[in-house]
């Protein structure tokens, strides 16, 4: 069979050869010999192929194969090997092949797969897929190298052809032949040739070759080829993508991979934008756990997304050009594609983060490590969104934490967020759920520094995203508002308002969502309800009225609330109606609604009707009417109303006020009143005839008379005038006049100097003899008068004429005088509830007379039990004691009954602050006036100089107290306002309604404007006390000291320091945007000392300011003032970048104050709870700023307290005069607390510490333990309960710190420093024994406050015993440790017999060879034998347990 087949094959050869020969001789003019040899070779090739089973076709169809390709390859190999001309036949065969494929068509045929030759009988002889002819030759090892050479030589012929007909790319087909060969004979040679080819080939072919390399070469060549590709990458950035694709698939060593990655990283800046995703993917996917941090950090630095996207301004301009020109559309498309590339880059990072734990950690670490604002990039924010979105490896929490940290420290500013949103809106859209979740989290944060950033995220999301996102943003903000959490509600409402202002048409679509908040108004404060109605009415009734579909709903809600009989809901109705009036009656720009720009008649009619409705609804309740006047006044102050509306309100207000409250003064006052009527406080004496007065007493008397008749006379009740409305109505009148006449109050200036119909104030002196009703009427009269004067001062404080200023100053004096009278009147009227003065309080029962009850609860001791302890209500009213001068409170701790007999009883008006009308910020401008000093007064205390308006010390204190209240509420109370549980804060905002309508920045700016005036007053106080000291030879209690004046001046001095400190403590100064404001403020202080100017750096300004404030140290009248000075210095020093530079000065100043003997003007030593509080804070400041805390503790405890023990009962320590038996507890508490803090700061011992480091830490612990021993042993001398309490509390904490940080040190340093460790433990053991005695004492006395500490202390003592045992075991000295039962002893060391068997556990541990310590333990050991067997078992059990665990 075989022979027959071979014969037929051979028979076929000659014909073919002849044809080919004829063709060859025609086509190529070769020499006859050469031609003959080629012909022979080709004959050999064709014959061998045919014999092996492939039928070569020349008509353009594929070659046919009759046998399986493995059989074919075997046959060819056998033919070649059996040929007598072997191995020369190989060359002939290849020459024949070359000759055969000279024709491009034939060559292409050889590259295409062969097709099986189907015989009729056998359908399955050959598999359906066969390789190409050349591919089959490559599988024959003896031919492989020769065939490869042939193919690679042929490839350049087709390089420039590209894709020929039929869509075939010949170069790619050639390269494909070389892929996935079962074996490459000479892989090194092949690699060299391929790289040579790459160096000359065009880009397309280069790409094909490079991407195929991993599939062509064997693993052994991967490292070599990677090096070549790496160098090629440096030269040709066009090949970045194919090279990186190839490198990703190569099997490289880690060192080479690192080298390649570094090279790729180096070229990152030059890479084309569209290639960047591939580069980033390669870098991140080639990262190992060990180098993830470094790689990611470098990638973050090199990846500049900002350069990938056009700036928003260009994008915008190009999008505008889009319709006009083709260029615009092209560039816009370019900007879109650039965003696509950024999206792809982020997707690469996202997949790396998701699948590699180390990469998500590395990104977080890289972002967290950036510590300069300018070093943060857009990429950081995008990465945080990615980490939050993927939540790989719990990265969501990490991303949130890092974002909050960065925002809090100001490192990621709002500008960066804005840039990210504007330039990458398409990219950001994919991360919207994460952006929304982060914004929610930031807005809910109790930290006020991060809340605004959450707001910016909401605002930008609304601005740049689609309508779905906008709806989600509004929905989320509405949820925040409905949460009822104060700070969250404020910010969310503010954001909704700003969105309504900026994008009214978009917000109108979501008006229905916002309207839903109306169902949740129960949780909102009046200020928040105001904001809500403002934004809803702007949407519904604003200029464009885009949200007009909710108008009817608004009207329904307001009418429903107004008609309610529940004061709370009526209040909401009044606020809502006034806000709607503000939006409907707002001044329209010209040409919006009508040609003139004024309101249409219909709108004007609606406004008038709404105002009439509110007026008629509120007339039945004086509180409702007063609230209506206040709300309308606030609207007129804050909004710009249409002149017609303005005129209508102004005219009716002026007429009504005159009719209700102003009367002409006749020679006599007709009518009978409970108290005799007098015309008082007239400043216009020369116009006394025919002048006017405020009809206060007659109206009050009429009100009291009508109280009984109120129920039946419902009809007449409607037009009843109430004195409650006097101040609110006047405020409304004044603001109307200001608006109508542009600040000129000439129409109503008579009200500044006009008198009031009151009673003779001598009645206050005989308040005890009056009936209860008369006393209450007198107090009410005083409250109304003071509130009238406060509103008058609010009105006229901005007037420039000297005469007006003088009258304002007189009214301030009237207020301070009346407040003193009121204090005395209140002391004689226990249980009195004052009239309401602020009508938008947050309490549930709103505006009824019971409204004040919650305020009373807060200060019950003040109003309900005033006779018992009137002075103690001050701290409940405000956080710092103000109204009653602090010096007086701290220095005069006499029994309260005696105080009532004096001219100034101890009722503090601080608790009554909610019952006084709020002073406007503008009133503080009075502080610009000079101070009235004694040198300007004549013998009758009248000032000689009338030309200049001067501020008296009492008035100064009054204004400063008010200013401090305002600043503490607005500047320092910001964090508290964000706190989640706000019920306790509810009443604190009463009396700050007008202040709440200003931003904290405005308030801070106003304070900075007042700083020069405050500094002048500060210097005047300093000069006053300096003069006093020089007159009295350096003592404050000399014969020429006026005690009353001394108290007022020292109170003013202290308030000035507090006000300046509160201003500088404003958290807003830490915001980078407020840096210029801070420099301005510091410049004021620095400028008082040294003429500088804006050219000074912040550090220089801090230095000069610090020096300026330090100059006041010599004239401190009391310890509390000295404390305020120290706090101010501390605050100022923190504003620079180098607070440490001022530590020593602050510490030495605090030391100086602590070493000073403080006496009052009357010569007594300062004492009392306020003094102790100030001393506690001042001592803490000293300990915080001193260089060596342990040394300072030893100095006070060792020297100061020893001196005190040796001194007589009432004497102080010589070196620390503030340390006496009354203040010992204060010192003891601070020393214990600071010692425990210092112990926590000692670094823990580590195994790899050097001997010197161990020695140093041991020395520190030795000092700490010695200090602790001194302090604990003081309990033997000062054994009062509070001292024991402090000792047990901080003793346990110190012991825990020692166990956590000190014992590891002893573990490692025991062998090197045996003596030091032994001495330290011996000292510490004495202290722990004393603690044990204290526990016994506490149990014996069964004092709950002490026994609460005992279990925890005992546990720590027991832990200490076992921990020492573990340490000795670790160092192979366990035999040096033994344990017995300590006897229970009291503080004096006497055994407590009744509890003999209850003591368990103190500690004995020593090394062998130590002869001293076991001696005291012998009784202990002896007792162990005597005590119950159960006790011994317990201890042994514990010991065994410890051994097991250790």
- Candidates 565, 624, 575, 996; CA nearest to 836 is 624
Judge whether 1190 and 1263 are in contact, CB under 8 Å. Answer: yes
Judge whether 964 and 944 are in contact, CB under 8 Å. Answer: no
With 0-12 CB in 10 A as exposed, 13-18 as middle and 19+ as buried, what is 1358? middle
> Distance between CA 1423 and CA 1379 in Å, rounded?
11
Q: Would you state the torsion angle of the CA atoms of residues 1120, 1126, 1129, 1133, taken in this order, to the nearest 10 degrees?
A: -140
1000-1038: burial string, b at 16+ Cβ within 10 Å, e else: beebbebbbebbebbbbbbbbbbebbeebbeeeeeebee
**So what's the pLDDT on residue 594?**
44
Strands 163-164 and 168-169: antiparallel
**So what's the pLDDT on residue 916?**
92
Distances (CA, A) of 1373 to 1358, 1359, 1377: 20, 19, 8
Q: Which residues pair with 1327 in a beta bridge?
A: none
**DSSP-derived secondary structure letter, 687:** G
Judge whether 1054 and 886 are in contact, CB under 8 Å. Answer: yes
Judge whether 1225 and 1243 are in contact, CB under 8 Å. Answer: no
Both structure tokens of 529:
């309800």
Q: Angle between the 292-302 and 254-266 helix axes, to the nearest 10 degrees?
A: 10
Judge whether 838 and 990 are in contact, CB under 8 Å. Answer: yes
Both structure tokens of 726:
């006097």
Report phi then psi at 663, rounded to 5.
-130, 155
Which bin fits 454, alpha (ψ -120 to 50), beta or left (φ > 0)?
A: alpha
Classified as helix, coil or strand, 1381 is coil
> What digits encode the pLDDT tens for the residues 967-989?
988 887 544 344 444 444 445 67
> Distance between CA 864 and CA 477 in Å, rounded?
43
Report phi then psi at 943, rounded to 5.
-75, 140
> What digits encode the pLDDT tens for the residues 1037-1069?
666 677 888 889 999 999 999 999 999 988 888
In the chain, what is the straight-line distance between the N-terminal and C-terminal CA atoms, in Å? 90
Residues with Cβ within 8 Å of 1002's Cβ and at least 6 positions away in sequence, in order, are: none
**DSSP tally for the chain: helices H, then strands E:** 66, 11
Judge whether 1254 and 1313 are in contact, CB under 8 Å. Answer: yes
- Candidates 266, 263, 182; CA nearest to 216 is 182
Cα-to-chain-centroid distance, residue 218: 57
> Distance between CA 596 and CA 997 in Å, rounded?
32
For the chain, list residues with pLDDT below 50: 1-36, 38, 311-334, 592-595, 710-718, 843-905, 934-936, 938-941, 944-946, 974-986, 1395-1446
Consecutive H or E run containing 756: strand 756-759
Q: Which residues pair with 943 in a beta bridge?
A: 937
Mark out the alpha helices in 639-688 (DSSP H runs). Answer: 643-661
**So what's the pLDDT on residue 1005?**
92
Around 663, how many Cα atoms within 13 Å sit in the side-chain half-sphere? 15
Q: How many residues does the chain have?
A: 1446
Report phi then psi at 71, rounded to 5.
-65, -45
Q: Which residues pair with 1159 in a beta bridge?
A: 1165
> Distance between CA 1283 and CA 406 in Å, rounded?
43
């Amino acid at each position: 069979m075989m022979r027959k087949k071979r014969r037929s094959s051979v028979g076929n050869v000659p014909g073919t050869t002849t044809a080919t020969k004829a063709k060859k001789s025609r086509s190529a003019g070769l020499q006859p010999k050469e031609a003959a040899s080629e012909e022979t070779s080709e004959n050999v090739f064709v014959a061998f192929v045919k014999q092996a089973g492939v039928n070569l076709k020349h008509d353009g169809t594929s070659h046919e194969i009759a046998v399986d390709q493995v059989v074919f390859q075997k046959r060819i190999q056998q033919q070649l090997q059996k040929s007598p001309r072997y191995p020369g036949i190989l060359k002939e065969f290849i020459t024949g092949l070359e000759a055969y494929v000279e024709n491009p068509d034939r060559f292409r045929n050889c590259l295409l797969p062969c097709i099986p030759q189907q015989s009729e009988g056998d359908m399955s002889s050959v598999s359906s897929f066969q390789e190409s002819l050349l591919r089959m030759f490559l599988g024959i090892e003896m031919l492989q190298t020769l065939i490869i050479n042939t193919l690679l030589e042929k490839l350049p012929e087709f390089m420039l052809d590209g894709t020929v007909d039929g869509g075939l790319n010949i170069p790619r087909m050639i390269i494909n032949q070389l892929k996935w060969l079962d074996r490459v004979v000479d892989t090194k040679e092949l690699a060299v040739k391929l790289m040579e080819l790459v160096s000359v080939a065009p880009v397309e072919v280069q790409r094909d070759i490079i991407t195929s390399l991993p599939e062509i070469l064997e693993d052994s060549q991967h490292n070599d080829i990677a090096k070549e590709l790496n160098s090629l990458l440096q030269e040709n950035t066009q090949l970045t993508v194919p090279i990186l694709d190839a490198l990703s698939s190569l099997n490289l060593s880690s060192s080479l991979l690192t080298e390649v990655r570094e090279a790729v990283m180096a070229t990152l800046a030059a890479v084309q934008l569209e290639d960047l995703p591939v580069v980033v993917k390669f870098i991140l996917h080639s990262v190992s756990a060990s180098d993830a941090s470094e790689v990611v950090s470098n990638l973050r630095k090199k990846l500049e997304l900002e350069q990938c996207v056009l700036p928003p301004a260009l994008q915008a301009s190009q999008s505008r050009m889009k319709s006009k020109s083709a260029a615009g559309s092209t560039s816009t498309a370019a900007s879109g594609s650039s965003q696509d590339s950024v999206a792809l880059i982020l997707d690469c990072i996202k997949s790396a983060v998701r699948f590699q734990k180390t990469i998500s950690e590395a990104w977080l670490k890289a972002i967290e490590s950036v510590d300069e604002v300018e070093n943060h990039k857009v990429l950081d924010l995008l990465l945080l969104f990615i980490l939050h979105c993927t939540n790989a490896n719990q990265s969501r929490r990490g991303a949130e934490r890092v974002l909050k940290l960065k925002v809090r420290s100001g490192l990621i500013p709002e500008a960066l967020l804005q840039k990210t949103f504007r330039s990458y809106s398409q990219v950001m859209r994919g991360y919207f759920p994460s952006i929304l979740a982060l914004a929610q989290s930031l807005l809910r944060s109790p930290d006020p520094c991060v809340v605004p950033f959450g707001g910016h995220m909401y605002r930008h999301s609304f601005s740049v995203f689609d309508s779905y996102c906008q709806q989600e943003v509004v929905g989320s903000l509405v949820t925040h508002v409905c949460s009822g959490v104060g700070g969250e509600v404020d910010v969310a409402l503010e954001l909704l308002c700003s969105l309504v202002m900026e994008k009214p048409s978009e917000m109108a679509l979501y008006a229905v969502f916002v309207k839903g908040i109306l169902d949740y108004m129960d949780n909102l404060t009046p200020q928040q309800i105001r904001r809500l109605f403002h934004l809803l009415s702007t949407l519904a009734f604003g200029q464009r009225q885009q949200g007009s579909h909710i108008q009817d709903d608004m009207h329904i809600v307001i009418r429903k609330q107004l008609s309610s009989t529940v004061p709370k809901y009526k209040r909401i109705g009044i606020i809502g109606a006034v806000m709607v009036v503000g939006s409907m009656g707002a001044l329209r720009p010209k040409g919006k609604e009508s040609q003139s720009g004024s309101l249409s008649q219909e709108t004007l009619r609606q406004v008038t009707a709404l105002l009439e409705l509110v007026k008629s609804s509120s007339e039945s309740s004086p509180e409702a009417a007063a609230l209506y006047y206040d709300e309308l006044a606030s609207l007129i102050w804050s909004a710009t109303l249409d002149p017609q509306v303005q005129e209508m309100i102004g005219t009716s207000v002026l007429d009504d006020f005159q009719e209700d409250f102003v009367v002409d003064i006749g020679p006599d006052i007709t009518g009978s009143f409970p108290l005799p009527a007098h015309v008082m406080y007239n400043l216009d004496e020369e116009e006394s005839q025919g002048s006017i007065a405020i009809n206060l007493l007659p109206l009050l008397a009429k009100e009291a008379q009508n109280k009984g008749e109120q129920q039946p006379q419902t009809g007449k009740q409607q037009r009843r005038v109430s004195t409650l409305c006097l101040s609110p109505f006047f405020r409304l009148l004044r603001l109307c006049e200001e608006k109508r006449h542009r600040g000129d109050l000439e129409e109503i200036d008579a009200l500044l100097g006009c008198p009031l119909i009151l009673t003779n104030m001598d009645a206050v002196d005989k308040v005890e003899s009056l009936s209860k009703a008369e006393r209450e009427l007198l107090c009410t009269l005083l409250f109304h008068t003071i509130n009238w004067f406060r509103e008058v001062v609010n009105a006229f404080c901005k007037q420039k004429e000297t005469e007006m200023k003088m009258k304002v100053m007189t009214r301030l004096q009237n207020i301070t005088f009346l407040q003193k009278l009121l204090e005395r009147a209140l002391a004689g009227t226990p249980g009195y509830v004052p009239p309401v003065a602020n009508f938008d309080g947050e309490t549930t029962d709103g505006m009824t007379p019971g409204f004040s009850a919650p305020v009373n609860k807060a200060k019950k001791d003040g109003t309900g039990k005033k006779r018992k302890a009137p002075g103690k209500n001050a701290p409940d009213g405000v956080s710092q004691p103000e109204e009653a001068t602090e010096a007086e409170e701290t220095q005069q701790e006499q029994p309260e009954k005696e105080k009532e007999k004096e001219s100034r009883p101890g009722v503090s008006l601080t608790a009554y602050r909610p019952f006084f009308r709020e002073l406007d910020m503008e009133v503080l401008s009075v502080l610009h006036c000079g101070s009235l000093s004694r040198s300007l007064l004549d013998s009758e205390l009248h000032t000689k100089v009338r030309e200049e308006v001067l501020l008296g010390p009492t008035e100064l204190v009054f204004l400063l107290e008010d200013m401090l209240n305002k600043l503490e509420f607005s500047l320092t109370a910001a964090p508290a306002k964000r706190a989640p549980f706000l019920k306790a804060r509810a009443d604190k905002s009463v009396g700050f309604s007008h202040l709440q309508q200003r931003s904290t920045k405005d308030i801070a700016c106003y304070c900075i404007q007042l700083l020069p005036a405050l500094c002048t007053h500060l210097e005047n106080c300093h000069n006053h006390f300096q003069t006093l000291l020089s007159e009295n030879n350096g003592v404050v209690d000399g014969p020429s000291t006026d005690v009353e004046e001394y108290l007022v001046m020292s109170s003013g001095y202290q308030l000035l320091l507090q006000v300046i400190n509160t201003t500088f403590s404003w958290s807003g100064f830490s915001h980078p945007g407020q840096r210029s404001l801070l420099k301005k403020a510091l410049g004021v202080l620095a400028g008082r000392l040294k003429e500088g100017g804006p050219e000074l750096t912040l550090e220089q300004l801090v230095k000069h300011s610090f020096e300026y404030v330090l100059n006041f140290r010599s004239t401190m009248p009391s310890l509390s003032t000295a404390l305020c000075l120290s706090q101010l210095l501390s605050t100022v020093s923190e504003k620079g970048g180098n607070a440490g530079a001022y530590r020593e000065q602050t510490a030495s100043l605090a030391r100086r104050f602590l070493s000073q003997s403080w006496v009052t003007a009357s010569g007594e030593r300062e004492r009392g709870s306020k003094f102790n509080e100030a001393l506690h804070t001042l001592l803490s400041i000293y300990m915080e700023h001193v260089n060596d805390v342990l040394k300072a503790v030893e100095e006070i405890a060792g020297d100061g307290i020893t001196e005190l023990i040796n001194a007589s009962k009432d004497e102080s320590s010589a070196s620390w005069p503030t340390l006496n038996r009354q203040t010992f507890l204060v010192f003891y508490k601070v020393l214990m607390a600071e010692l425990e803090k210092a112990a926590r700061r000692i670094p823990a011992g580590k195994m790899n510490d050097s001997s010197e480091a161990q020695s140093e830490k041991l020395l520190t612990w030795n000092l700490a333990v010695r200090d602790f021993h001194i302090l604990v042993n003081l309990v033997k001398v000062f054994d009062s309960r509070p001292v024991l309490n402090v000792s047990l509390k901080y003793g346990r904490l110190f012991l825990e710190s020692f166990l956590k940080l000190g014992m590891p040190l002893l573990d490692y340093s025991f062998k090197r420093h045996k003596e030091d460790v032994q001495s330290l433990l011996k000292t510490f053991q004495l202290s722990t024994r004393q603690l044990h005695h204290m526990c016994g004492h506490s149990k014996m006395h069964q004092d709950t406050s002490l026994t609460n500490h005992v279990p925890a202390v005992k546990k720590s003592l027991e832990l200490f015993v076992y921990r020492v045992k573990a340490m000795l075991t670790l160092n192979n000295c366990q035999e040096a440790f033994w344990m017995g039962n300590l006897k229970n002893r009291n503080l004096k060391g006497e055994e407590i017999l009744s509890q003999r068997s209850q003591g368990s556990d103190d500690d004995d541990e020593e090394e062998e060879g130590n002869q001293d310590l076991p001696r005291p333990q012998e009784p202990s050991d002896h007792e162990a034998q005597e005590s119950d067997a159960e006790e011994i078992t317990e201890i042994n059990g514990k010991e065994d347990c410890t051994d097991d665990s250790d």
